[in-house]
Amino acid sequence: MNNLIQIRLCGYGGQGVVLAGTILGHAAINDDKWVSGSNSYGAQARGGSARSEVVISENSITYPHVIKADILIAMSQTAYDEYIQDLAEQNAIVLYDDMIVHPRDINGVQQIGVPATKTSIDQLDNKQVANIVMLGASVVITGIVSKKSMISSIETNVDQRFKELNLKALNAGFALGKNYHRKKTLNTRNSTNSSNTINQ
Protein backbone atom coordinates (compact mmCIF):
# COMPACT_ATOMS: atom_id res chain seq x y z
CA MET A 1 0.00 0.00 0.00
CA ASN A 2 1.17 3.54 -0.74
CA ASN A 3 2.15 5.81 2.15
CA LEU A 4 -1.25 7.54 2.11
CA ILE A 5 -4.51 6.28 0.58
CA GLN A 6 -7.62 8.43 0.22
CA ILE A 7 -10.89 6.48 0.03
CA ARG A 8 -14.35 7.86 -0.65
CA LEU A 9 -17.45 5.71 -0.16
CA CYS A 10 -20.66 7.19 -1.51
CA GLY A 11 -24.29 6.34 -2.12
CA TYR A 12 -27.62 7.35 -0.69
CA GLY A 13 -28.96 7.34 2.85
CA GLY A 14 -30.07 3.94 4.05
CA GLN A 15 -27.37 1.97 2.20
CA GLY A 16 -25.03 1.88 5.18
CA VAL A 17 -22.30 3.96 3.54
CA VAL A 18 -21.31 5.60 6.82
CA LEU A 19 -21.20 2.27 8.65
CA ALA A 20 -18.99 0.87 5.89
CA GLY A 21 -16.61 3.80 6.31
CA THR A 22 -16.52 3.29 10.08
CA ILE A 23 -15.77 -0.42 9.68
CA LEU A 24 -13.02 0.30 7.15
CA GLY A 25 -11.44 2.96 9.36
CA HIS A 26 -11.38 0.70 12.41
CA ALA A 27 -9.95 -2.13 10.33
CA ALA A 28 -7.08 0.14 9.30
CA ILE A 29 -6.50 1.01 12.96
CA ASN A 30 -6.39 -2.73 13.69
CA ASP A 31 -3.65 -2.91 11.05
CA ASP A 32 -1.67 -0.26 13.01
CA LYS A 33 -2.26 2.50 10.44
CA TRP A 34 -2.95 6.17 11.01
CA VAL A 35 -6.56 6.92 10.13
CA SER A 36 -8.83 9.92 9.76
CA GLY A 37 -12.41 10.02 8.60
CA SER A 38 -15.47 12.16 8.01
CA ASN A 39 -19.09 11.61 7.04
CA SER A 40 -21.67 13.67 5.19
CA TYR A 41 -25.43 13.33 4.70
CA GLY A 42 -27.79 15.05 2.31
CA ALA A 43 -30.95 16.86 3.32
CA GLN A 44 -32.70 13.57 4.04
CA ALA A 45 -30.94 10.84 5.98
CA ARG A 46 -32.73 8.05 4.11
CA GLY A 47 -32.83 8.54 0.36
CA GLY A 48 -30.61 11.62 0.34
CA SER A 49 -26.92 11.54 -0.50
CA ALA A 50 -24.44 9.94 1.88
CA ARG A 51 -20.66 10.00 1.86
CA SER A 52 -17.93 8.60 4.05
CA GLU A 53 -14.28 9.49 3.64
CA VAL A 54 -11.38 7.53 5.07
CA VAL A 55 -7.72 8.49 4.87
CA ILE A 56 -5.23 5.74 5.72
CA SER A 57 -1.51 6.34 6.14
CA GLU A 58 1.67 4.73 7.39
CA ASN A 59 2.51 8.05 9.08
CA SER A 60 0.65 10.84 10.88
CA ILE A 61 -1.99 12.57 8.73
CA THR A 62 -1.70 16.33 8.31
CA TYR A 63 -4.99 16.88 6.46
CA PRO A 64 -7.90 14.65 7.54
CA HIS A 65 -10.15 14.94 4.47
CA VAL A 66 -10.10 13.35 1.01
CA ILE A 67 -8.81 15.76 -1.63
CA LYS A 68 -8.67 13.40 -4.61
CA ALA A 69 -9.80 9.83 -4.08
CA ASP A 70 -7.35 7.03 -4.81
CA ILE A 71 -10.26 4.64 -4.34
CA LEU A 72 -13.89 5.52 -5.05
CA ILE A 73 -16.57 3.08 -3.89
CA ALA A 74 -19.92 4.04 -5.43
CA MET A 75 -23.24 2.52 -4.38
CA SER A 76 -25.55 4.78 -6.42
CA GLN A 77 -25.58 6.43 -9.83
CA THR A 78 -26.02 9.93 -8.43
CA ALA A 79 -23.06 9.52 -6.10
CA TYR A 80 -20.93 8.06 -8.89
CA ASP A 81 -21.76 10.98 -11.18
CA GLU A 82 -20.97 13.48 -8.44
CA TYR A 83 -17.59 12.13 -7.38
CA ILE A 84 -16.16 10.47 -10.49
CA GLN A 85 -14.33 13.69 -11.38
CA ASP A 86 -12.60 13.91 -7.98
CA LEU A 87 -10.10 11.11 -8.54
CA ALA A 88 -6.36 10.95 -8.08
CA GLU A 89 -4.45 11.68 -11.28
CA GLN A 90 -2.62 8.36 -11.22
CA ASN A 91 -3.67 4.79 -10.41
CA ALA A 92 -7.21 5.62 -9.29
CA ILE A 93 -9.58 2.70 -8.80
CA VAL A 94 -13.36 2.90 -8.95
CA LEU A 95 -15.50 0.10 -7.53
CA TYR A 96 -19.22 0.37 -8.25
CA ASP A 97 -22.35 -1.67 -7.65
CA ASP A 98 -23.03 -3.08 -11.11
CA MET A 99 -26.78 -3.44 -10.52
CA ILE A 100 -27.16 0.27 -9.77
CA VAL A 101 -24.32 2.17 -11.42
CA HIS A 102 -23.60 2.55 -15.14
CA PRO A 103 -19.98 3.75 -15.42
CA ARG A 104 -18.60 6.25 -17.88
CA ASP A 105 -15.61 5.51 -20.11
CA ILE A 106 -12.64 7.25 -18.48
CA ASN A 107 -9.13 6.78 -19.80
CA GLY A 108 -6.52 5.74 -17.27
CA VAL A 109 -8.99 4.80 -14.53
CA GLN A 110 -9.56 1.21 -13.51
CA GLN A 111 -13.28 0.66 -12.96
CA ILE A 112 -14.58 -2.57 -11.49
CA GLY A 113 -18.22 -3.58 -11.32
CA VAL A 114 -19.07 -5.49 -8.16
CA PRO A 115 -22.38 -7.40 -7.93
CA ALA A 116 -22.86 -6.31 -4.32
CA THR A 117 -26.63 -5.83 -4.34
CA LYS A 118 -27.23 -8.92 -6.47
CA THR A 119 -25.07 -11.04 -4.17
CA SER A 120 -26.73 -9.71 -1.03
CA ILE A 121 -30.14 -10.62 -2.46
CA ASP A 122 -29.26 -13.95 -4.07
CA GLN A 123 -27.01 -15.35 -1.36
CA LEU A 124 -28.18 -13.61 1.81
CA ASP A 125 -31.76 -12.63 1.00
CA ASN A 126 -31.11 -9.15 2.39
CA LYS A 127 -30.06 -6.23 0.19
CA GLN A 128 -29.33 -4.12 3.30
CA VAL A 129 -25.93 -5.80 3.59
CA ALA A 130 -24.85 -4.88 0.05
CA ASN A 131 -22.57 -2.29 1.67
CA ILE A 132 -20.67 -5.01 3.52
CA VAL A 133 -20.48 -7.23 0.43
CA MET A 134 -19.04 -4.26 -1.47
CA LEU A 135 -16.60 -3.53 1.33
CA GLY A 136 -15.36 -7.11 1.46
CA ALA A 137 -14.79 -7.21 -2.29
CA SER A 138 -13.06 -3.82 -2.25
CA VAL A 139 -10.67 -4.89 0.51
CA VAL A 140 -9.58 -8.02 -1.35
CA ILE A 141 -9.24 -6.21 -4.69
CA THR A 142 -7.26 -3.24 -3.35
CA GLY A 143 -5.49 -4.68 -0.32
CA ILE A 144 -6.13 -1.49 1.69
CA VAL A 145 -6.61 -3.42 4.92
CA SER A 146 -6.29 -7.05 5.95
CA LYS A 147 -9.19 -9.50 5.96
CA LYS A 148 -8.46 -10.36 9.58
CA SER A 149 -8.79 -6.71 10.60
CA MET A 150 -12.05 -6.37 8.68
CA ILE A 151 -13.55 -9.34 10.53
CA SER A 152 -12.43 -7.89 13.86
CA SER A 153 -13.85 -4.48 12.97
CA ILE A 154 -17.28 -5.92 12.16
CA GLU A 155 -17.28 -7.85 15.43
CA THR A 156 -16.59 -4.56 17.22
CA ASN A 157 -18.79 -2.13 15.29
CA VAL A 158 -21.91 -4.13 14.38
CA ASP A 159 -24.76 -4.80 16.82
CA GLN A 160 -24.84 -8.36 18.12
CA ARG A 161 -28.22 -8.98 16.44
CA PHE A 162 -26.76 -8.36 12.98
CA LYS A 163 -23.21 -9.60 13.46
CA GLU A 164 -23.66 -13.05 11.94
CA LEU A 165 -25.40 -11.67 8.83
CA ASN A 166 -22.73 -9.01 8.34
CA LEU A 167 -19.91 -11.53 8.68
CA LYS A 168 -21.61 -13.69 6.05
CA ALA A 169 -21.89 -10.62 3.81
CA LEU A 170 -18.22 -9.82 4.36
CA ASN A 171 -17.18 -13.34 3.38
CA ALA A 172 -19.39 -13.14 0.28
CA GLY A 173 -17.54 -9.96 -0.63
CA PHE A 174 -14.18 -11.61 -0.01
CA ALA A 175 -15.20 -14.34 -2.46
CA LEU A 176 -16.13 -11.76 -5.10
CA GLY A 177 -12.75 -10.10 -4.69
CA LYS A 178 -11.02 -13.45 -5.05
CA ASN A 179 -13.00 -14.13 -8.22
CA TYR A 180 -11.83 -10.80 -9.62
CA HIS A 181 -8.18 -11.67 -9.05
CA ARG A 182 -8.71 -15.09 -10.62
CA LYS A 183 -10.31 -13.50 -13.67
CA LYS A 184 -7.55 -10.91 -13.88
CA THR A 185 -4.87 -13.59 -13.78
CA LEU A 186 -6.53 -15.45 -16.65
CA ASN A 187 -6.97 -12.30 -18.71
CA THR A 188 -3.61 -11.28 -20.17
CA ARG A 189 -4.92 -8.35 -22.18
CA ASN A 190 -4.00 -4.86 -21.02
CA SER A 191 -6.03 -1.68 -21.51
CA THR A 192 -5.58 1.93 -20.39
CA ASN A 193 -9.36 2.23 -20.13
CA SER A 194 -10.16 -0.71 -17.91
CA SER A 195 -13.70 -1.60 -16.92
CA ASN A 196 -14.44 -5.04 -15.51
CA THR A 197 -17.34 -6.77 -13.89
CA ILE A 198 -16.91 -9.51 -11.29
CA ASN A 199 -18.85 -12.72 -11.68
CA GLN A 200 -20.57 -14.25 -8.66
Q: What is the dihedral of CA 70, 8, 199, 147, to 10 degrees?
A: 90
- Count Cα neighbours of 79 within 13 Å in the Cβ-side half-sphere: 28
What pairs with residue 56 in β-bridges? 5, 35
Query: Quick check: 44 pLDDT over 50?
Result: no
Query: Quick check: 49 pLDDT over 90?
Result: no
Residue spans of the domains in the chain: they are 4-187
User: pLDDT by residue (tens digit) across 95-109?
Assistant: 999 999 999 999 999
- Cα 171 from Cα 135, distance rounded (Å): 10
- What pTM was computed for the model? 0.90
Phi and psi for 177 in degrees, rounded to 5?
-65, -40
Query: Would you say domain 4-187 falls under CATH 3.40.920.10?
Result: yes
Three-class SS of residue 148?
Answer: helix
Q: What is the CA radius of gyration of the chain?
A: 15
What is the average pLDDT across 9-23?
Answer: 94
